[in-house]
Structure 1
Amino acid sequence: MVLVQTKIVFHVDELNKWPEVLSNVTNVLMDLAQHDDHHIQMVVVANGDGIMGYLIPSINDQISELAKTVEFHACHNSMVSHGLNSARIPSGVHIVPVGVIDLASLQDNGYRYLKP
Structure 2
Amino acid sequence: MSRLKVLFHVNENPRWPRVIVNVQNFIKDVGQGQADIEIVANGAAVTAYGSGPEEDLHREMQELAALGVVFAACRNALNMHSLAEKSLPAYVRVVPAGITEIAKKQSQGYAYIKP
Report the TM-score when normalising by structure 1: 0.89
Distance 1:65 1:12 in 2: 18
Residue equivalent to 2:88: 89
Partner of 1:4: 2
Calculate percent identity across the aligned residue pairs: 36
8 Å Cα contact 1:4-1:39 kept in structure 2: no
Bigger radius of gyration? 1
CA distance in 1 between counterparts of 2:3 and 2:76 reads: 31
1:60: how far off?
Answer: 1.2
Identify the range of structure 1 (101-110 vs 83-92) with the bigger mean alpha-carbon deviation. 83-92
CA separation in 2, counterparts of 1:64 and 1:5?
A: 23
CA RMSD of aligned residues (A): 1.6
Task: Return the match for 2:39 from 39, 44, 49.
Answer: 44
Partner SS for 1:84? coil
Q: How many residues align?
A: 111
Give 5+ residue unaligned stretches, structure 2: none
**Partner Cα separation in structure 2 for residue 74 and residue 81 of structure 1:** 12
One of 60, 63, 66 as aligned partner of 2:61: 63
